[in-house]
Structure 1
Amino acid sequence: MSKRPILVLQMQRMGDLILSFPLFLWLERTYPGHPVWVVAEEKFFRPLMPISPKVTYFPWEGLGVLRREKYELIVNLSIRSQAAALAGELEAGAKIGPVSGPQGATYILGDWQLYRSSVVENNRHNLFHWADLNALDCIPLSRIGQTVWPQPRTLQPTDNRIGLFLGASEESKRPSVEFWASLCAELLGRGMRPVLFGGTLEQETGQAVARIFGGPVLDMSGKLKLGELAAVGQSLQLFITPDTGPMHLAAWAGMKVLNLSLGNVNPWETGPYQNDHYVIRSTMSCALGCWNCRRDSLYCHGPFTPSRIAVIAKRMILNDRSGLTKINMPGLRLYSTARGGNGLYDLQHISGRKASSGDMLGRFWQQFFGAAFGLWDTEEAGRIWSVFENNQPKLAGKMRSHLPLLGKEFSKGLAKGIPLPDCFWDSCPLILRQFSGFIHLFLQNNDYSRPAWVRVLSLYEQLASLVSSR
Structure 2
Amino acid sequence: MRPKWTWSTPGWPGREQGRADVADADTRPIAVIQTQRMGDLLLTYPLLLWLARCHPGRPVTVVAEAGFAGPLAQISPRADYVSLEQARERLGNREHSLVINLGIRPEAARLAGEIPAETRLGPVADAGGIIRVRGDWQLYRASVVHLNRHSRYHWAELNALDVVPAGLIAKTTWPEPRQGGPGRRTVGLFVGASQPGKHPAPAFFADLIRELARRGLTPVLLGGPGETALGDEAARLSGVPVANLCGKLGLKELALLGQEMDLLVSPDTGPMHLAAWTGWRVLNLSIGPVSAHETGPYQPGHFVLRPRLSCRGCWACLRSSVVCRDRLDAARVAYVAARLARGEDTRLGGARIPGFELLRTVMDENGLRRLEPLSLTGQAGPGPDGRELVGAFWRAVFGHIFGLWDAAAPRSAAAALAAGQPALHAALGRGLVRLGGALGRDLRRGRVPDASFAAAFAPGVRPLAGYLERLLQNSDGDRASRLVSLALLERTAALFAG
* TM-score w.r.t. length of structure 1: 0.96
- The yes-or-no answer on 1:250 pairing with 2:275 is yes
- The yes-or-no answer on 1:121 pairing with 2:140 is no
CA separation of 1:393/1:329 partners in 2, compared to 1, >3 Å: closer, same or farther?
same
Q: Distance in 1 between matches of 2:272 and 2:435?
A: 41
Given candidates 341, 344, 353, the residue that maps to 1:317 is 341
Deviation per CA, 1:33-60: give whole Å up to 9, x if none.
Answer: 2111100000010110121111110112
Q: Return the letter of the residue paired with 2:267.
A: P
Superposed structure 1 runs of 4+ greater than 3 Å apart: 155-159, 408-416
2:174 aligned counterpart, secondary structure: coil
1:331 counterpart residue number = 355
Given candidates 48, 51, 58, the residue that maps to 2:75 is 51
- The yes-or-no answer on 1:368 pairing with 2:368 is no
Given candidates 452, 463, 470, the residue that maps to 2:492 is 463
Report if the CA contact (8 A) 1:157-1:318 is conserved. Answer: yes
Given candidates 157, 160, 173, the residue that maps to 1:132 is 157
Structure that is richer in helix per residue: 1
Q: Distance in 2 between matches of 1:339 and 1:214?
A: 42
1:152 aligned counterpart, secondary structure: coil
Report if the CA contact (8 A) 2:185-2:342 is conserved. Answer: no
2:372 aligned counterpart, secondary structure: strand
Given candidates 24, 29, 47, the residue that maps to 1:5 is 29
2:480 counterpart residue number = 451
**Post-superposition shift, 1:6?**
0.3
**Post-superposition shift, 1:281?**
1.4
1:64 counterpart residue number = 89
Q: Distance in 2 between matches of 1:303 and 1:209?
A: 18
Q: How many residues align?
A: 468
CA separation of 1:261/1:451 partners in 2, compared to 1, >3 Å: closer, same or farther?
same
1:423 counterpart residue number = 452
**Post-superposition shift, 1:302?**
4.3
Mapping 1:134-149, distance limit 5 Å: 134-149=159-174
- The yes-or-no answer on 1:231 pairing with 2:256 is yes
Deviation per CA, 1:261-313: give whole Å up to 9, x if none.
Answer: 011100000111111000011221011x2111111222213442111111111
2:237 counterpart residue number = 212
CA separation of 1:416/1:299 partners in 2, compared to 1, >3 Å: closer, same or farther?
closer
Report if the CA contact (8 A) 2:199-2:325 is conserved. Answer: no
- The yes-or-no answer on 1:91 pairing with 2:120 is no
1:81 counterpart residue number = 106
Question: Which segment is superposed worse, 74-83 or 289-298?
Answer: 289-298
Question: Which segment is superposed worse, 59-68 or 193-202?
Answer: 59-68
2:221 counterpart residue number = 196
Q: Distance in 2 between matches of 1:412 and 1:211?
A: 62
1:286 aligned counterpart, secondary structure: coil
Deviation per CA, 1:113-135: give whole Å up to 9, x if none.
Answer: 00000110000000100000000
Q: Return the letter of the residue paired with 2:113.
A: G
1:17 aligned counterpart, secondary structure: helix
Q: Return the letter of the residue paired with 1:332.
A: F
**Post-superposition shift, 1:419?**
2.0
Q: Distance in 2 between matches of 1:244 and 1:266?
A: 12
**Post-superposition shift, 1:251?**
0.6
Q: Distance in 2 between matches of 1:99 and 1:320?
A: 48
Mapping 1:404-443, distance limit 5 Å: 404-443=433-472
- The yes-or-no answer on 1:39 pairing with 2:63 is yes
**Post-superposition shift, 1:2?**
8.0
1:47 aligned counterpart, secondary structure: helix
Q: Distance in 1 between matches of 2:424 and 2:70?
A: 50
**Post-superposition shift, 1:182?**
0.9
**Post-superposition shift, 1:449?**
0.4
Deviation per CA, 1:337-361: give whole Å up to 9, x if none.
Answer: 0112332111000003165211110
Report if the CA contact (8 A) 1:417-1:449 is conserved. Answer: no
Q: Distance in 2 between matches of 1:422 and 1:15?
A: 28
Report if the CA contact (8 A) 2:179-2:342 is conserved. Answer: no
CA separation of 1:155/1:400 partners in 2, compared to 1, >3 Å: closer, same or farther?
closer
**Post-superposition shift, 1:192?**
0.4
Q: Distance in 2 between matches of 1:379 and 1:259?
A: 34
Q: Return the letter of the residue paired with 1:363.
A: A
Q: Return the letter of the residue paired with 1:338.
A: V
2:257 aligned counterpart, secondary structure: helix
Q: Return the letter of the residue paired with 2:391.
A: G
- The yes-or-no answer on 1:393 pairing with 2:422 is yes
Report if the CA contact (8 A) 1:10-1:39 is conserved. Answer: yes
Q: Distance in 2 between matches of 1:159 and 1:281?
A: 26
1:104 counterpart residue number = 129
Report if the CA contact (8 A) 1:50-1:227 is conserved. Answer: no
Given candidates 338, 342, 345, the residue that maps to 2:366 is 342
2:286 counterpart residue number = 261
Q: Return the letter of the residue paired with 2:210.
A: A
- Among the aligned pairs, what percent are the same residue? 43
Q: Distance in 1 between matches of 2:173 and 2:42?
A: 17
Q: Distance in 2 between matches of 1:389 and 1:14?
A: 41
| Structure 1 gaps, min length 5 | none
Deviation per CA, 1:371-399: give whole Å up to 9, x if none.
Answer: 01111112122122112123322222222
Report if the CA contact (8 A) 1:11-1:40 is conserved. Answer: yes
Question: Which segment is superposed worse, 147-156 or 26-35?
Answer: 147-156
Aligned Cα root-mean-square deviation (Å):
1.6
Q: Distance in 1 between matches of 2:180 and 2:432?
A: 54
Q: Distance in 2 between matches of 1:2 and 1:61?
A: 28
Deviation per CA, 1:394-413: give whole Å up to 9, x if none.
Answer: 22222222333333444455
**Post-superposition shift, 1:180?**
0.4
2:18 counterpart residue number = none
- The yes-or-no answer on 1:403 pairing with 2:427 is no
Report if the CA contact (8 A) 1:73-1:93 is conserved. Answer: yes
Report if the CA contact (8 A) 2:186-2:341 is conserved. Answer: no
2:208 aligned counterpart, secondary structure: helix
**Post-superposition shift, 1:84?**
0.8
